[in-house]
Every structure is written in C-alpha cells, then in structure tokens.
Amino acid sequence: MAVRVVVADDQALVRMGLGVLIEAEEDLELVGEAADGAAALALVREAVPDVVLMDVRMPVMDGLAALREISADAALAGVRVVVLTTFELDEYVFEALRAGAAGFVVKDADPGELLEAVRVAARGEALLSPSVTRRVVAAFTSSRPAVGPVVDVGVLTEREREVVGLVGEGLSNEEIGARLVVSPATARTHVSRAMVKLGARDRAQLVVFAFRAGLVR
C-alpha cells in the first residue's frame, strides 16, 4: 500500500516540485496540497495521510500551530509530520521537535533525501537529517537551558538511559546496536520501552528528552 502524503507550503514552486517527486514514486501517493497552515490542518483532518511535509512559515496559521493541532488530535495519532526548513539552523526546528514533529529536512536537500524522509517517517521512525540535527538540537538546548520541564529519567534502567543518550546523538538502531554490541532488534526494544516510559510520541521527541535530561555526551 502506497504511503499517502500531504504537502503544505506557501510557495507554489516548492509544492509543485515536491508533488512531482512524490508522484513519480510507485510507493508514494500525493493526496493533497495546502498553501497555508489552516488549509493544511483541514486537509489532514479530512484525508488523514500517513505523512505531512510541512513548511513552518505560512500565512493564516503557521506550520507550528498546525503541527500542534495535529499532535493534539487523537484521531490523527498515526500522522507523521516532517518539517521543511530553509536553513540548517532554523530558529523553529527545536520548537517543531517539541511540538511533535517526526523530524525535519532542508528544502534544498537532495531529492533522494526528501523521499527517504517520507518513507522513514511513514515507518514511524524519526527523520533527523544527520548532517544538521545534532548541531541544531545542541545549539537550541544549550542556548535555552530552561526550555520545558526536566525529564524524569529515574524511570529508565541504566541501559535505557544509555540508549536514550545515543538516540540523542542521532544514532540509528543499527548504530546503537553496534556501539553496545547488541542486535538492532534489541536496540529497537530498548528505544521503544524508553519512549513508553517517558511518554515520548516518537523518536524525535526522545531526542529532545535526551538533551533536556543531560544524557547526551
């Protein structure tokens, strides 16, 4: 079954370009486009796509507000939002991760990376662009020490804390497994248990929790 995608961006050329990329892939299906946050939210509620590629700076309602509405709607729990940014150090990236984004990609990324973003998000994983994510999250957490409540990592086992720290570093399950000399499946189990205990919506929020709790080296 094809991954159903919604594209939300106020730039017509961006929407068209993403639409062409998506429609050219057999495993992806473009189910709608929106030019502002309010229209995007209405479209998502109507179509309930698997993935939304969401720009942040849009008229009527910005992407962050639309993202928060999507994250708060139980009927849309299966919808994954990937935030589109123009710059690597976008001021809204950290807020988007806190609001429930599955990750982000830079708009001028390679087409293959954009398509992989959709597929990774659809699998329920976090897409955190390796080239920029660690710097982005580190920059915002270091500059905003008072952001959000302190995460109670006391509910985690020692191994789970170690795994969450590695997730915060941007490592995949395969990389975590290699680092800890366990199988990717075992790493995935530790990640899943940590997410449940911390109430993380997805892996992207686990990254934020890792930084808040000081688990990233």
For residue 159, give the 3-state DSSP assignment: helix
For residue 52, give the 3-state DSSP assignment: strand
**How many C-alpha atoms does 122 have within 13 Å on its Cβ side?**
20
The pLDDT score that the predictor gives to residue 157 is 92
Tell me the C-alpha to C-alpha distance, in Å, between residue 213 and each of 145, 153, 204, 206: 11, 7, 15, 10
Tell me the C-alpha to C-alpha distance, in Å, between residue 156 and each of 60, 84, 173: 42, 32, 18
- What is the chain's pLDDT, residue by residue, as a tens digit (217 residues)? 899 999 999 999 989 999 999 999 999 999 999 999 999 999 999 999 999 999 988 889 988 899 999 988 989 988 999 988 776 555 676 677 777 888 788 788 788 888 888 888 888 776 665 455 555 555 555 554 444 445 677 889 999 999 998 888 777 788 888 999 999 889 989 988 998 888 877 777 787 788 778 787 6
Superfamily of domain 3-140: Response regulator (3.40.50.2300)
148-212: what CATH class?
Answer: mainly alpha
The pLDDT score that the predictor gives to residue 145 is 45
Structure tokens at 6: 């919604």
Domain residue extents for the chain: 3-140, 148-212
- 65, containing H or E segment: helix 63-72
Question: In terms of C-beta density within 10 A (0-12 exposed, 13-18 middle, 19 or more buried), how is residue 74 classed?
Answer: exposed
The pLDDT score that the predictor gives to residue 150 is 52
For residue 191, give the 3-state DSSP assignment: helix
Q: Which residues lie below 8 Å from residue 196, measured CB to CB, with a gap of 6+?
A: none
User: Tokens 């729990």 sit at which residue?
Assistant: 77
The pLDDT score that the predictor gives to residue 24 is 93
**Which among 22, 103, 68 has a CA at the least distance from the CA of 32?**
22
What type of residue sits at position 184? P
